[in-house]
Structure 1
Amino acid sequence: MQIDYERDISLIREWLAKEDYLPQDLGDMLLKKFIHSCYGSLEKTKQCIDKFCVGRTNTPELYTSRDPTASKLKTAFSITSVTTYEAGEDEILIHELDDPNLENFEFYDLVKTFAMQADYWLNNIPLFPRGHIVLIDAKHFYLKIVSRVNIFFFKQFLVYLLEAMPVRIKQIHVYNSPAYYDKLFSLVKPVLPQEICDMIKFHLEIEGLYAHVDKKYLPVELGGEAPSMKDQQKKWVKIITESRDMYLNDNLWKADMKKRAKSKGADTAMNGSFRSLSID
């Protein structure tokens, strides 16, 4: 089905104007990504936008105090790579942790910088792919990382990513997987939809990716022909730093829960909400 994005964006804006608890600062590219990810269903798009905005409000741990020049966030940016690549009709999303001894690993800072880079991707990368291929480097996912992570928070954040972010996940590959990957996976598997669990493939080495993703679409660090993901990471962080004012806005793309309570009645809870989280 051909999607009329101009018409649908206009209809979504009309809906947003009537829902005064929702923000009005969602740009056209962001709205187009929501419409695209929901295959043109305006009802699903509305639900996804609602979860996206409510989730940001209910997660102050990630969506406040986001100064990219803060030393702890600069450190978090320096030990991760969050990058994307066009792959034919698809888009590859890569996450890599580069902290061999976990010396600089701070869970909330890392998740916060990931969310900041996700905002950059939503607002600046004009790709509307057939599907998304997620690649995760697990080479530094040691068992000791479990004690450094709030597992309950991480589970809920995964649910938020799946339910509220404008993505069409088609494949998930975890490479450089340790021998005990099944133990790590068992910590989050219960909260993942079965269709997502069925997509996840573990590879002991990078070479396992090549049967699923053409090397020409992979960055040079993964033995491919595409530009360096390290260089892309540096470019993204530079632009994010230059866009500091945007990230200092603690109300960016957030729902006003007081107004939502009035418009939706007493029950303001929703699946994927972080409202009831107990943060360590």
Structure 2
Amino acid sequence: MQFNEIAVEEVYRRDEKLKKEDVQALMEWMGKQPHLPKATELQVASFLHSCYYSNEAAKNSIDAYFTVKSLCPDIFSSRTINDNILRATVDTQLFVVLPELTPAGDAVILSRKIDPDPRNFHMIGQLKLMDIVPLLHSYQYGPAKGFQLIIDMELTSLGHLLRINPSYVKKFAYYLQEGMPIRLKQIHFINLVPFMDKVFSFIKPVMKKELIDLFLVHTKMESLYEHIPQKLLPEEYGENVRNLIKNSENYLKFQESQLIDESKRQGSSKYQEDLFGAEGSFKKLDID
């Protein structure tokens, strides 16, 4: 089944707070920024929605989104099922949007390992899925009121932790916080492992407090069900991610082509320092 975008007029119809004239104003602003690529009306509407209808916040998000993508091609390029790392990741990592929304209207993403062997864990591939899956869902079905991410730690070992590169965590966390056009509401950790403290010691130093505050650690499934009803977690988890990526390759290639031209930027850019300025400190993180 080929990927098809939702009609932007349908997005406006569903969300009365999302105004076409505000989106058009943002598109006109983008047209005056020579370093930015062209974007579709649906993309721009998604930015405005994710920023709770603030045009100024959306401008910052748009600039961050396209700049980070351009500065980090290792994460945001080669998003095809023919890419060895991405193909291996979809075979070893489940990362899907569940079929039903929460009572509050949030979409639920489930991430869990299928293969326990750390040698088959590819962090870059996992980060690619964390970008591809929610954005394709947004462009196919319209922006969700929010996203709830469930990270199932079952089958995770210290071997996986040793394969995490904190510099990539930093880059993607920055993208998630500043640029990605979704509303991330909460990040739930379930089926905890004994070394959760080491997991957090790896990831928290490179994240802003606002993102860390979204973490909810569940020692029992009952506490998860207070946020996400148990009936939303079926045994089968929807569309095969391999097929989703394969059917969306033309759209993903279009997204890859949307890069900035830094030589045309008017004024200075903060993103180079924000993304790469503190990488030396990552070497201090280790596991005892």
TM-score range normalised by the length of the shorter chain: 0.7 to 0.9
**Residue 176 of structure 2 aligns with which residue?**
161
1:27 corresponds to 2:32: no
Summarize the Cα distance change of 1:205–1:75 in structure 2 as closer, same or farther, 3 Å threshold: farther
Q: Which amino acid aligns with 1:170?
A: K
Aligned mates of 2:184, 2:125 — CA distance in 1: 25
* Residue ranges of structure 1 left out of the alignment (5+ in a row): 222-227
Summarize the Cα distance change of 1:14–1:91 in structure 2 as closer, same or farther, 3 Å threshold: same
**Residue 52 of structure 1 aligns with which residue?**
65
SS of the counterpart of 1:3? coil
**Residue 12 of structure 2 aligns with which residue?**
none
1:97 corresponds to 2:113: yes
1:204 corresponds to 2:205: no
Q: Which amino acid aligns with 2:147?
A: H
Deviating more after overlay: 268-277 vs 78-87: 268-277
> Is 1:91–1:127's contact at 8 Å kept on the other side of the alignment?
no
**Residue 26 of structure 2 aligns with which residue?**
12
Shift, 1:250, TM fit: 7.4
What is the TM-score of this pair, normalised by structure 2?
A: 0.81
Aligned mates of 1:201, 1:175 — CA distance in 2: 9
**Residue 121 of structure 1 aligns with which residue?**
137
Summarize the Cα distance change of 1:268–1:7 in structure 2 as closer, same or farther, 3 Å threshold: same
Deviating more after overlay: 196-205 vs 131-140: 196-205
**What percentage of aligned pairs have identical amino acids?**
25
**Residue 201 of structure 2 aligns with which residue?**
186
Summarize the Cα distance change of 1:169–1:115 in structure 2 as closer, same or farther, 3 Å threshold: closer
What is the TM-score of this pair, normalised by structure 1?
A: 0.83
> Is 2:80–2:245's contact at 8 Å kept on the other side of the alignment?
no
Shift, 1:180, TM fit: 1.7
Shift, 1:207, TM fit: 4.1
Summarize the Cα distance change of 1:71–1:193 in structure 2 as closer, same or farther, 3 Å threshold: closer
Summarize the Cα distance change of 1:93–1:250 in structure 2 as closer, same or farther, 3 Å threshold: closer
Deviations 1:74-118 (A, max 9, x none): 221122222224213222222222221224212223323433334
Q: How does 1:60-75 map onto structure 2 within 5 Å?
A: 60-75=73-88
Deviations 1:39-97 (A, max 9, x none): 11100000001000000000010122233223432221122222224213222222222
Q: Which amino acid aligns with 1:75?
A: A
Aligned mates of 1:275, 1:198 — CA distance in 2: 23
> Is 2:116–2:155's contact at 8 Å kept on the other side of the alignment?
yes
1:239 corresponds to 2:252: no
Summarize the Cα distance change of 1:42–1:158 in structure 2 as closer, same or farther, 3 Å threshold: same
Summarize the Cα distance change of 1:68–1:172 in structure 2 as closer, same or farther, 3 Å threshold: same
> Is 1:84–1:94's contact at 8 Å kept on the other side of the alignment?
yes
Summarize the Cα distance change of 1:275–1:247 in structure 2 as closer, same or farther, 3 Å threshold: farther
SS of the counterpart of 1:66? coil
SS of the counterpart of 2:126? helix
> Is 1:172–1:201's contact at 8 Å kept on the other side of the alignment?
yes
Aligned mates of 1:250, 1:165 — CA distance in 2: 13
**Residue 187 of structure 2 aligns with which residue?**
172
Give the aligned CA root-mean-square deviation in angstroms: 2.7
SS of the counterpart of 2:213? helix
Shift, 1:144, TM fit: 1.8
Deviations 1:105-148 (A, max 9, x none): 1222332343333442343231331x332211111331222221
* Residue ranges of structure 2 left out of the alignment (5+ in a row): 1-14, 284-288
> Is 1:132–1:171's contact at 8 Å kept on the other side of the alignment?
yes
1:138 corresponds to 2:153: yes
